Amino acid sequence: MAGYDSTADTLKHSLRVGALLAPVVADLARRAVEHDLSKLADPELSAYNETVPLLRTTTYGTAEYERHRTAMGDALTHHYAHNRHHPEHHQGGISGMTLVDLIEMLADWRAATERHPDGSLAASLPIQQQRYGISDQLMQILTSTARHLGWLDPS
């Protein structure tokens, strides 16, 4: 159409996308403040006090690590039930999660690797893929996101 200037329509569209993204940003900001606060009271607190020192001395994905993790029993079940960034929170596992859940989960995985002397997000991602039955496509998205955010270990 001759004489049409798309500037106004583009600005309107841009503002609308911004308005739609605002609740996502607010949800992420809330999660950043509230992440894992259920660990600060029982039944979780005492189990984490006992188990975290043991987990820190083992390599993620090993049988020893898994034994320590599962020994948390009801405290871990409580944690998963109250924290939607865990696939165990959702009836459908990882496929029941939202994109916001996945972002918080990925940040949680990155932070967890930092507690271990041999921790590595790049090394743990294949373990997580196997554990949660993550599709190759979603794993590529998670890996690309981690790389984009600078969360992957230096090569």
pLDDT digits (tens, 9 = 90+) for 77-132: 999 999 999 999 999 999 999 999 999 999 999 999 999 888 999 999 999 999 99
Q: What is the pLDDT of residues 55-73, one digit of tens each?
A: 989 999 999 999 999 999 9
pLDDT at 2: 85
| Number of DSSP helices (H) and strands (E) in the chain, helices first | 7, 0
pLDDT higher than 90, residue 26: yes
Q: Could you tell me what percent of the chain has a pLDDT over 70?
A: 98
What 3-state DSSP class applies to 135? coil
What 3-state DSSP class applies to 86? coil
Domain boundaries, given as residue ranges, for the chain: 9-148
What SS3 string covers 24-51?
HHHHHHHHHHHCCHHHHCCCHHHHHHHH
Cα–Cα distance between 112 and 120 in angstroms, integer?
9
* Residue 139 exposed, middle or buried by CB count within 10 Å (0-12, 13-18, 19+): middle
